[in-house]
Amino acid sequence: MYDVKAIYEAKTIQEAIRLRVEHPEARIIAGGSDMLIKIREGKAAGTELISIYGIEEMRGISLDPDGTLRIGSLTSFKHITKHPLIKKYIPVLGEAVDQVGGPQIRSIGTIGGNTCNGVTSADSASTLMAWDAVIELQGPEGKRLVPDREFYLGPGRADIRPGEIQTAILISKESYLGYRGNYIKYGMRNAMEIATTGCSVNVCLSPDQSTVEDIRIAYGVAAPVPVRAENTEKAVRGLPANEETAETIFQLVLQDVTPRDSWRASRAMRLHLCQVMAKRAFLAAVNAAKAGVTNEADVKEDLKKEIPRDLPANVCTCGERERMASFSADMPITTAADGKQFKVINCRINGVQKTTMVDVRASLTDLLRKDYRLTSVKEGCEVGECGACAVIIDGECYNACIYLAIWADGKDIVTLEGLAGPHGEISELQKAFIDETAVQCGFCIPGFILEAKTILDSGKHYTDEELRKLLSGHLCRCTGYENILNAVRKAMVERLEAK
């Protein structure tokens, strides 16, 4: 159970604004990958929450009639990385958010939550700043647009006024047409890591690709808030797109950054990182721009198409997203005489429809383990780091410990118990883990197997490097990673060969 005083649910933007006005001390919870951890750690214990997780109009990516890219604030990192409009126009944003946490965190974490936290280390922050993004907010006074460069007021503080919520992030076509970029994150680990320093560089080259017509250099963890290297940008515009200009950037960026000492890295190390990363990101961005950029004709063509705002419905294992939503209880939260809050939810667990009254403070781990005795869902770190509690929700892997039980309403949930055959026989995936001796103490294995199931269900062939990244949200204390990788590879190859 989370130490929460009360939770209020909003299903529309206007309802969220009303709740913000009625409960000014309440804090917004979007995906929960940050807020629920703060509550668990005691930093935000006893708080009131306004859940906006159910506002579907704030999800997805689309093109406005004027060519502006509109990214709904509740769009998850995983969906941003995979969306066709992101891949086509600003792939570097997808690459940047694909470095946030692990796969399960990227399923629940939202672009809005990542920016509203106001932290300089957010992987999306410097990248969006390099795209001249604009933040869309809505509140009692209506809609307000704030340039991303003005949105960050200080460490952990963003320009969000009383009653307002962030609804979208906008990138005008003038900011992305003709540009290509590169983002580099430096950390001590390749996954589940907060950036020591991050650098994002976008370039627009001259028609003959010889000169830098425009450049934007943005940093995370190089100042109290994400910053642009404005002095360096001015000096570099009009210079040749070559190694010499890269060296000029290396020398000049020090005038634009003010990193500090911390336990992650010294100021001196961060200054050096700022130089090296900007140089490398510039050269990579130049090469990307030379390989091809988008133009006005691409936008006109896409405006004629019906591009889905969100990922295709076949992301859901059951392939019945609409039907799943139709049996949602859609019940309001009720308050008992003792002040405790409850909600009736309907969901499908391992193929069986369930109706449950849940305490709003409960996590999905609490629901599955205590109400349905599904003990394959382990209680591990309880802050979304180890992956032992992983479950599949509508075809994607999530950490059940940082997923509120009330959000399970209308969802299709699969635990390890759901992989068993009609007579209790194990799946081919579990058999592969046995064949490759991938099971040691077994505590982490349910999470690994469920993540592996989503890998196999994609129908794609992955390299070992790609498999390692897809499995990176799970920790094995017995350090049996190689055997686990062998098992997933074996099951993947067998599945593909059987087609």
Examine the domain organization and report whether 156 and 193 are in the same domain: no
Q: Give domain status of residue 304, yes or no.
A: no
Note the pLDDT of residue 29: 97
Q: Could you tell me the CATH number of the domain that includes residue 393?
A: 3.10.20.30
Q: Give domain status of residue 306, yes or no.
A: no
Q: Could you tell me the CATH number of the domain that includes residue 156?
A: 3.30.465.10
Q: pLDDT-based confidence at 394, cuts 50/70/90?
A: very high
Examine the domain organization and report whether 377 and 483 are in the same domain: no
Whether residue 249 is predicted with pLDDT greater than 90 in this model: the reply is yes
Examine the domain organization and report whether 163 and 198 are in the same domain: no
Closest Cα partner for 215 from 205, 225, 202, 226? 202
Q: What span, in angstroms and rounded, lies between the C-alpha atoms of 81 and 293?
A: 18
Q: Amino acid letter at 439?
A: V
Examine the domain organization and report whether 36 and 151 are in the same domain: yes
Note the pLDDT of residue 300: 96
Query: If you search the block for the tokens 């009736």, which residue do you land on?
Result: 344
Question: What kind and span of H or E run contains 324?
Answer: helix 321-326
Examine the domain organization and report whether 5 and 58 are in the same domain: yes
Q: Give domain status of residue 355, yes or no.
A: yes
Furthest C-alpha separation in the chain? 73
* pLDDT per residue as tens digits for the range 271-300: 999 999 999 999 999 999 999 999 999 999
* pLDDT per residue as tens digits for the range 428-478: 999 999 999 999 899 999 999 999 999 999 999 999 999 999 999 999 989
Domain count, the chain: 4
Closest Cα partner for 405 from 343, 468, 467? 343
Note the pLDDT of residue 312: 62
User: Where is average pLDDT lowest: 55-69, 172-186, 324-338, 481-495?
Assistant: 324-338
* Domain ranges, residue 200: 178-293
Closest Cα partner for 5 from 52, 38, 47? 47
Note the pLDDT of residue 313: 45
Q: Give domain status of residue 77, yes or no.
A: yes
Distant-in-sequence, close-in-space partners of 314: CB < 8 Å, separation ≥ 6:
395
Q: Give domain status of residue 303, yes or no.
A: no
Q: pLDDT-based confidence at 133, cuts 50/70/90?
A: very high
Last residue of a domain, one of 388, 415, 442: 415
Q: Give domain status of residue 482, yes or no.
A: yes
Note the pLDDT of residue 327: 59
Last residue of a domain, one of 415, 445, 480: 415
Note the pLDDT of residue 326: 57
* pLDDT per residue as tens digits for the range 181-209: 999 999 888 788 889 999 999 999 999 99
Q: What span, in angstroms and rounded, lies between the C-alpha atoms of 491 and 448?
A: 13
Q: Could you tell me the CATH number of the domain that includes residue 493?
A: 1.10.150.120
Examine the domain organization and report whether 388 and 425 are in the same domain: no
Note the pLDDT of residue 325: 52
Last residue of a domain, one of 138, 154, 174: 174
* pLDDT per residue as tens digits for the range 69-108: 999 999 999 999 999 999 999 999 999 999 999 999 999 9
Q: Give domain status of residue 344, yes or no.
A: yes
Tokens at residue 284, please?
Answer: 């990579």
Examine the domain organization and report whether 182 and 167 are in the same domain: no
Over residues 376-388, the mean pLDDT reads: 95
Examine the domain organization and report whether 158 and 41 are in the same domain: yes
Whether residue 423 is predicted with pLDDT greater than 50 in this model: the reply is yes
Whether residue 319 is predicted with pLDDT greater than 80 in this model: the reply is no
Examine the domain organization and report whether 427 and 408 are in the same domain: no
Q: pLDDT-based confidence at 317, cuts 50/70/90?
A: very low
End-to-end CA distance of the chain: 44
Q: Could you tell me the CATH number of the domain that includes residue 210?
A: 3.30.390.50
Q: pLDDT-based confidence at 320, cuts 50/70/90?
A: very low
Of the CA atoms within 13 Å of residue 281, those in its CB half-sphere come to 34
Examine the domain organization and report whether 364 and 460 are in the same domain: no
Summary mean pLDDT of the chain: 94
Examine the domain organization and report whether 193 and 138 are in the same domain: no
Examine the domain organization and report whether 14 and 157 are in the same domain: yes
Over residues 232-239, the mean pLDDT reads: 98
Angle separating helix axes 243-252 and 267-291, nearest 10 degrees: 150
Q: Give domain status of residue 288, yes or no.
A: yes
Closest Cα partner for 248 from 261, 238, 260? 238
pTM: 0.94
Whether residue 179 is predicted with pLDDT greater than 60 in this model: the reply is yes
Over residues 155-178, the mean pLDDT reads: 97
